[in-house]
Chains A and B, each alone.
Chain A
Amino acid sequence: MNKKKKIGGLRRLFEISIVIIIGCICAITRSAAAAAAKDDQFLLLLGVSPQDEDYYKGLLSSPSSTIKCKDGSFKFSTSQLNDDFCDCPDASDEPGTSACPNGKFYCKNAGHIPFSLYSSRVNDGICDCCDGSDEYDGKVKCPNTCWEAGKVARERLKMKIATYQQGVTVRNRLVEQAKLAIAKEEAELSKLKNEEKILKGLVEQLQERKEQIEKAEEKERLQKEKEDKERKETEEANLKEKQNGEQVESSEADALKNDIHDKIGEQVESSEADALKNDMHDKIGLLGDSSSSQDVMEGHGDSESEAQHGEFDVKEESSIGDVKPLQEDSLLHATEKEEQLTVDGQPGLDTGNQAEVEEDNSESLSKEELGRLVASRWTGEKTEPQTQEVSSAKDKNHGTEEEDAYGEEYSGYDSEEDEHRYDNNDDGDNEDQMDDFGGEDHDDSSPSYKSESDDEPDLPAEPSWLEKIQKSVRRIFQAVTFFQTPVDKSEAARVRKEYDESSAKLSKLQSRISSLTHKLKHDFGREKEFYSFYGQCFENKQNKYVYKICPFKQASQVEGHSTTRLGSWEKFEDSYKVMQFLNGDKCWNGPDRSMKASILLVKLRCGLNNEVTDVDEPSRCEYLALLSTPAVCVEEKLKELQDKLDMMNKEQPTSHDEL
C-alpha cells in the first residue's frame, strides 16, 4: 500500500464526510474542531458494522488504549486499528482495509441495504458498495448509486410483499380446505372400514350359503345318477311342476337383486371411479407415461409414424446409405464384446474364435459408424441415428420408448413389460368397468364417495345402500328354503349371483380404502398446505422438452413421444421448500460405466399460481426445477420482508452524518 495514495484516499473520504456534515449539520453550527474529531472517529471505524461499534469503543478514547482481538489471540492499539496491517488473525483490527484476509467490510449503503463485504474487495479497483465506500484509495471513483439502486430494490421488494400478502391469504384458504377435505376423507375412510366389515360378513354368509347349495347340488347329482334309471318314467311330469314354482320365486329375487345391484353398483363404482383414476395414475405413471390411458393408446399410432420418419432421416443422414437396424445390433454387440475382451485381457485364447467373429463385426463398421462409436465413449450418447430408428420402429409393438429400450436388449423384457401392464389393469379394475364410468350417472345423494374436491357435508341420514343390501340378503335367506333337495336351481343361481356381486363390491370397497389410506399417509406439509397438490401435475415447456411434475407421484421429461422419468416422489426437503423426486430413469453416467438414476429437485417459491417457472440440468441427470406456489407463502416470511422494507425506507441518505 502506497502511503501517499492512501492519504489521498482518506482525504477523499474526509471531503465526502465534510460535505455531508456541512450539508446537514451547519444549521446546528457545530465547531470545525468538533467536526474534525468526529471525522477521525469516522476514519478509525471505517468498515465497522453498527453491531460492532461497541467493541471498538474502548479504542476511541486515547491513541494508546488497547483491546484484544475478538478471538482473544492478540492485543492491538488505537494506532493499529485500520492501519492497513493485519495484527489480528481474525481481522478485528482491520475492519476497513484489505490487510487481513478474513475480514469483513461494512458498507452502510444508506438508501439501500447495508452490506458486509469480504475485505478482499476493499480498494481492489471495483466498486462493490453502492455508496462507493469500499474504494477510498483514489484509484477509482465510485459514484453513490444507493438511492437509485435502492429504489429499484424497494420496488421489487414491494412487489414481492404484495405477492406474499395475497399468497398468504390463498395459502390460508388452502390450509382450511385441506383440513376439511382431509377430515372428510378420514371420516369416509372409517365409514368405509365399517361398511367393509359388514359387507365382509354378508359375503361370508353368502359364501357359506353358496357352499351349502353346492354341496346339496353335488349330493343331488349323485343321487340323481343313482336314481336316474328308476325314475325315468315319472321325470317329465315332476319337472313341469317344479318350473311353475320357480318362476314365482325367481321374479321376486330378481327385483331384489336389481335393487342391490343398482345401489352398490352406482355408489361403489362411483367411488371406485376416483380410486381407480388415482390408481391408474399411479400405475401408468410408473410406466413413465402420461396420465391417461388414452395417451398410451395414442402412443401406438404416433410412434408408428415416427418410426417411418426415423427411417427416412437415417437414409438422409447416413453417408453410407442403407444401414439396417440389424447392423446396429451387431455394432452394439461388438462394443460389448470388445469390452469383455479387454476384461479378459487375453483375446487370443479360449474365446478366440468367437472374439474374432465379433471383432470382424466391429471392424466391418463403416468409417462413420466407427467415428460415432469412438465419439460416444466420451459423450455417452447414442452412436447412431439408427439407434433411434430401432427404438421408434419398436414403438409399433409397445407403448412407450422405455419399453422398447429394454426390449431392444432382452426380448424377454417384452413379455414382462406386457404382463406388468396387465397387472396394473387388474389391480385397478378390468377394462369393461373402466368404460362403464364414462356413461354412468353419479348419485349425488351419496356424498361419502364423491370426489375430493366436493365441499358438501358428510354421511347421509337415510338408510345407506349397505342397509339395503343387508335387508335384501336377509330376505333371500328368509325366502329360500334351506337344504331343500332337490336344490332349487334358480335359487342357487340367485345366491351365486348375489355372492359374486357382493364380493365384487367388497373388493372395490377395499381398493377404495387402500387408495384413501395411501393418500392420507402422505406428508402434505406442516399445515397440510400441499394437500391440493395431490393428483395435480404441473407442466413447463422448454425448447423441445415438456417437463411434467406430479407431486406425490412422479416427474417426467417428454420430448415428442419419448418420455424420460426424472424421478418418483420421495419427500419434501429443506423444511418444505424443496420437493424431491428420486430414482428416475437410469442415466449413462459417463465412462466410469456406472448407471445412475436421474433425480429432480423442485425448489418452491412463493407465487400466486402453481407454476413451473424453470427447469435446468446442472449436472447430467440431475434436474432442478422452480415451482411458484401459494403453498409456501408463509406469514413469517412476509413479516421479514416488511421489516426489511421498513428498514430500507428508514435509511435515507440524509441520515449519513449520524455515524
Chain B
Amino acid sequence: MKESPNLIFHVLFLLLLISPSVFSWKKDEFRNCNQTPFCKRARSRKPGACNLIATEVSISDDGDLIAKLITKIPENNGSQDPPVEVDSQPLLLTISVYQDGILRLKIDEDQSLNPPKKRFEEKIDNDLGFSSVVYLDGDYEGVLRHDPFEVFVRERGNGKRVLSINSNGLFDFEQLREKKEGDDWEERFRSHTDTRPYGPQSISFDVSFFGADIVSGIPEHATSLALKPTSGPGVEDGFSEPYRLFNLDVFEYLHESPFGLYGSIPFMFSHGKARGSSGFFWLNAAEMQIDVFGTGWNAGQDKIMMPVDEKRIDTLWMSEAGVVDAFFFVGPGPKDVVRQYTSVTGRPAMPQLFATAYHQCRWNYRDEEDVFGVDSKFDEHDIPYDVLWLDIEHTDGKRYFTWDKVLFPNPEEMQNKLAAKGRHMVTIVDPHIKRDDNYYIHKEASDNGYYVKDASNRDFDGWCWPGSSSYVDVVNPDIRSWWADKFSYGNYVGSTPYLYIWNDMNEPSVFNGPEVTMPRDALHFGGTEHRELHNAYGYYFHMATSNGLVKRENGKDRPFVLSRAFFPGTQRYGAVWTGDNTAEWDHLRVSVPMLLTLGLTGISFSGADVGGFFGNPEPDLLVRWYQLGAYYPFFRAHAHQDTKRREPWLFGERNTQLIREAIHTRYMFLPYFYTLFREANVTGTPVIRPLWMEFPADEETFSNDEAFMVGNGLLVQGVYTERAKHVSVYLPGDQSWYDLRNGATYKGGKRHKFEALEDSVPAFQRAGTIIPRKDRFRRSSTQMDKDPYTLVIALNSSKEAEGELYIDDGKSFNFENGAYIHRHFKFSNGKLTSSNAAPSGAGGNKFSTDCTVERIILLGLSPAPKSAFIEPSNQKVGIEMGPLTIRPGKNPSFATIRKPNVRIADNWTIKIL
C-alpha cells in the first residue's frame, strides 16, 4: 500500500509492454524433459527394452504374490556380441490385492542385499479398505507374466484386459550404486547445482489402459479434461513435453500446457464406452513425468505381445526416485474408480457448512477499517458472504501468526465483530519462516533443528516473502505436532474460534531456488532428500496445519484449511484452489477441466479464484465468473494487490444485481451442495463431475469439459466468451432437462442452442431428480440454519423422481457418530415419500432440527392438481401455481405445494390429489 511507484521499473516494464502477457510465463526458468536427465533417458528408450523377468514366484504368508525380477541373459545364439554384463541386483516384486477391485504392485530393491540407501517410500496412513486381503477379487484377476515380466488385471470370464504395466517393455529401474572414481553425478540447471550424492535412481515404465477412449487425471495442469497425447502421432503444438508432476509456483501460468503446477497426483483415470472406467495410481512423491501416447505411437514395434484388437491408451510414467508402489483400480464405473482410489488415499473431509458458502478475498484487505468497510458493503447491498480473508500483508513483516500492529491493532475484536453476523475469517500461514532471531517461531524452529537442511546439513536458507527464510520440516511427525500446537489460541495471539487458515506457497515456493522451489539435494527428516518427497511437502504442511485447527478445539471443530500445493490424500485435510490464474476468458474456461480433474482424483473441495488473480476483469467476465464460480465446490473471489478493487458492488447497479443473483444462487443450493459434500465424504464421488461420470455410455460427453454436473441433478454450462449471444449446450441421457431459469424442458441426448442471457449461465435440473434448496436470503449461511426448505421435484417421463438431503450441525465431528439427518425423497405414483436414509441405529448421538418444508415445486406435472394430502398428520394442503425461483416480474409458474410445513427430519408422505 502506498508504495511510491518506482519509475525505474515503470520504464523497464514499459519496454516489456511489447511482450504479450501470454508469454510472461518464464518458460526458461523451468526444466523441460530434455533438461531433466532421468526424463530424457526414459523417453529415449525403445519399446521392449526391458529385459527383466520374474522368477522365484511364490505366495507370502500374507497372501501376497512375491517374485524376484532379474535381468534375462540372452542366449548366446552364436553372434559376435560379448555377453551382456549383468551388474544389477534382483528386484523384489510384491502383488497384493485388496477388496473392492484394487491391486497393488510394489517393486523395490532387495534390502537384504544392502543397497547404498533405503529408497524413500511414501506411506499411506489410511486404514480404509485394508482389512481383508484376498488374492482374487470379484470378476477380476491379477496376472504376473514371468517372461517378459508384465503385470496386468483382466476380467476373469473373458480374459479381457483392463490395465497393465510393462506391456510395452519400457520398465526400467536404475538401481542405487556406489559412486565410482570419475563418476560425475552433479546436475546443473541455470545457476543451480544439484549435488545428487546418490546418483541416478529413476524408475520408468509403461501403463496401458484397455478399452479406453480417454485418459484423464494426473493434476495439476491447466489443460483439457481428456488428456491430449504428448508423444507419437497427433501431438498438438505445445504438447510435445510429457505431463509434468512437480509442485511449482508458476508465475502467470498458461491456460493450455502440460507443464506442472502447484500440486501433483500421479493417478490416471481412464474411461471408455466399451468397458467403463479404470484407474492407475503410482504412490511416489518424487518428480514425475508422464507421456500419453497417441494411437499408433509404436507402429512397427513387433516385439510387443499385446492383443491388437483392443482399443487402448498407452502411457509412460517416469519418476526421478522412490519405489514402485502402484495401484490398479478396476472400476468398472467412474464412481467405482473414485471410490477405489479414495479408499486407498482417503475420503474427502466433511467441510463445515460455512466453508461451502461464498468467500471474499483480496491481496490485501489493508486494515481493520477496510475489513469493516467491505463487510458492511455486503450488507448494504444484501449480498451474502461467509468468510473474509486476509493475505500476507496482515502480518507483522510476513511473520505468520503475528499481526501488523498498526493495521490490525485489535484482531480479536475484529473477528468477533464479523462473527456476530455469523461470519468467519481466514488468515494466511505459509511454510517459509522469516529468519529473524526475535521471531519466536524462528527461534524455536532453529533451536530445535526443525528446519529443512541444505545439502551440507545447515538450515536451508531461501528467499520468500519475508526475505531470508527457512522452511519447517513438516515431513517429521514430531515437527508437524509442534507446528500444530502453534494454532492454539494461546500461541496464535489474536486468533479466535472464528478464524481459519490458508496455506499458500507450500510447493514449497523458494524465490531464489531452482525452478522457484527447494533444491533437490536439500535434506529432510531421516536423511531423505528433497527430490524423493518434493511433491508431498505441501501435503504434509497442509496436514500439520489442519491438525492444528483440530487440536485447538480438542477435536470438536472441523478444520478449514485451504492449500495451494497438494498430493494424493490432500482431500482429507481441506480445500485447494488452482493458484494464481489470470482475469482472462481462457482462464475461466480452463478452470472447469482443472476442477473436474481434481474431483476425479479425490480432491472434491476445490475452486479457482473468481475474477482471476492477475489483471482486471471486464465486468462481463467478472459476472460470468461469478455465475460459474457459484457452482465451484469452493467459491472464492480473489485478486492481486495491483488490481483494481472488484468487490461485487463496484461495477454499476446492473452488474451488482447480477453478481448478487449469482451468489444467491449458491446460497439457495447450499443444502444440495452440503449433501454432495457428504456423498464425497462417504464414497469419494466428487461434488462436481464430468458429464460422463453420470452418463458413462454417452460418447458425446467424453470430450466435453465446458459443462459439468453438480451432483447427479444439475448440469451447468459456463459462458466463456465476451458478450456471447448464444451458448450451445449438450444435454446428455435419454431423459429431459428443466431449465433453472424458467423451468422449460429440453430433450436429452441432444445439443441445444440457447440465447446467452446475461442473468445467469445455462443450468438445468435433470428429470428424475429431487433437489433440496433454501430459498430465503440471509447475510450468511449461519442465519439460514433455521430456514425452511424448498424441494424441487423434476419428474421424468415415468413421472418419478428421487433425491437426498443430508443435514448435520455443520460444524462438529458429531456426524461421525451418527449425529446427522439423511433423508431420501422419492416421488412415484403421485406420492412424495420422505424416508430415513441413514443406517439404523447409527450411534447414540442424535442431531435434530425443527426445520420444515415450506414449498414443494413439481416440474413436469400437468395439468396441475388442486391439493395434496399429508400423512401422518392427515392434513390437506393447497397446490397453487408458483415460480421456479422467486424473482421480481412475471415468470412461468408451476404446480407448487404451498406450506406443507412438514418437518424435514420426519417420515411423511404427500399424496397429490
Contacts and interface: CB of A to CB of B under 8 A. Distances in A.
Of the candidates B12, B17, B582, the one having the most CB atoms from chain A within 10 angstroms of its own CB is: B12
Contacts of A338: 26, 28
Considering the complex of A and B, which 7 residue pairs feature the smallest CB-CB distances, nearest first?
A: A371-B463, A405-B7, A590-B642, A371-B512, A363-B191, A374-B511, A370-B512
Contact of B777 (A87, A119, A620): A119
Interface in A339-378: 339-343, 345, 347, 359, 363-365, 367-378
A380 B3 CA distance: 10
A559 B582 CA distance: 33
A588 B6 contact: yes
Interface string A587-602: 1111111110010000
Interface in A381-437: 381-382, 387, 390-391, 401-402, 405-406, 408-410
Contacts of A126: 420-422, 779, 783
A1 interface: yes
B428 to A, nearest CB: 13
A345 B422 CA distance: 51
Given A340-B19, A588-B13, A592-B21, A405 B642 contact: no
Contact of B464 (A371, A542, A564): A371
B732 to A, nearest CB: 32
B1 A405 contact: no
Interface residues of B, number: 83
B753 interface: no
B465 A409 contact: no
A342 B25 contact: yes
A595 B13 contact: yes
B417 to A, nearest CB: 12
Interface string B250-270: 011000000000000000000
Of the candidates A373, A379, A564, A620, the one having the most CB atoms from chain B within 10 angstroms of its own CB is: A620
B889 A71 contact: yes
A85 B854 contact: yes
A30 B895 CA distance: 47
Nearest to A390: B8
A101 B779 CA distance: 12
Contacts of A102: 886-888
Contact of A101 (B23, B510, B776, B783): B776
Contacts of B887: 89, 102
15 contacts: A5-B850, A99-B776, A100-B886, A339-B16, A380-B642, A390-B8, A405-B10, A406-B11, A562-B4, A587-B5, A591-B614, A593-B13, A593-B16, A595-B13, A619-B645
A346 to B, nearest CB: 11
Interface string B398-423: 00000000100000000000001110
Contact of A595 (B17, B26, B465, B891): B17
A132 to B, nearest CB: 16
Contact of A408 (B11, B640, B644, B855): B11
B17 A367 contact: no
Contacts of B854: 1, 84-85, 99
Interface string B768-790: 00000001111100010011100
A119 B382 CA distance: 9
B72 interface: no
Instruction: Report the contact-size class of chain A (Cβ under 8 Å from the partner).
Output: 35 or more
Nearest to A341: B28
A521 interface: no
B463 A368 contact: yes
Contact of B642 (A98, A375, A545, A588): A588
Interface in A74-97: 83-87, 89-90
Interface of A is mostly: mixed
A100 B19 CA distance: 52
A211 interface: no
Contact of A620 (B382, B421, B641, B891): B641
A595 B3 CA distance: 15
Contact of B17 (A99, A100, A359, A594): A594
Contacts of A71: 888-890
Interface string A305-349: 000000000000001000000000000100110111111010100
A620 B643 contact: yes
A555 interface: no
A405 B251 contact: no
A85 B1 CA distance: 48
Of the candidates A125, A332, A365, the one having the most CB atoms from chain B within 10 angstroms of its own CB is: A125
A15 B658 CA distance: 42
B486 interface: no
A281 to B, nearest CB: 22
B26 A621 contact: no
Given A371-B512, A590-B615, A620-B642, A85 B5 contact: no
A555 to B, nearest CB: 14
Given A89-B887, A90-B888, A595-B10, A370 B511 contact: yes
A515 interface: no
A410 B467 CA distance: 30
Nearest to B642: A590
Contact of A374 (B512, B615, B891): B512
A3 B384 CA distance: 26
Nearest to B11: A409
A73 interface: yes
A101 B11 contact: no
B306 interface: no
Contacts of B901: 1, 3
B201 interface: no
A256 B865 CA distance: 113
Contacts of B421: 126
A375 B464 CA distance: 7
B742 to A, nearest CB: 13
A570 B240 CA distance: 53
A98 B251 CA distance: 46
A372 B18 CA distance: 24
A124 interface: yes
A62 B462 CA distance: 79
A406 B6 CA distance: 10
Given A370-B463, A380-B642, A595-B17, A585 B26 contact: no
Interface in B884-910: 886-891, 898-899, 901
B15 interface: yes
A90 B640 CA distance: 38
Contacts of A332: 8, 12
Contacts of B28: 338, 341-342, 347, 359
B511 A101 contact: no
Contacts of A363: 190-191
Contact of A336 (B15, B406, B467): B15
Given A342-B19, A371-B512, A594-B17, A381 B6 contact: yes
Nearest to A332: B12
Interface in B844-903: 850, 852, 854-855, 882-883, 886-891, 898-899, 901
A272 B6 CA distance: 37
Contacts of A101: 664, 775-777, 886
A622 interface: yes
A554 interface: no
Contact of B776 (A83, A120, A401, A618): A120
Given A410-B11, A588-B13, A559 B24 contact: no
A26 B382 CA distance: 42
B888 A588 contact: no
Contacts of B787: 1, 98
A543 B787 CA distance: 48
Contacts of A336: 12, 15-16
Nearest to A371: B463
A620 B788 CA distance: 44
Nearest to A118: B382
B2 interface: yes
B608 to A, nearest CB: 17
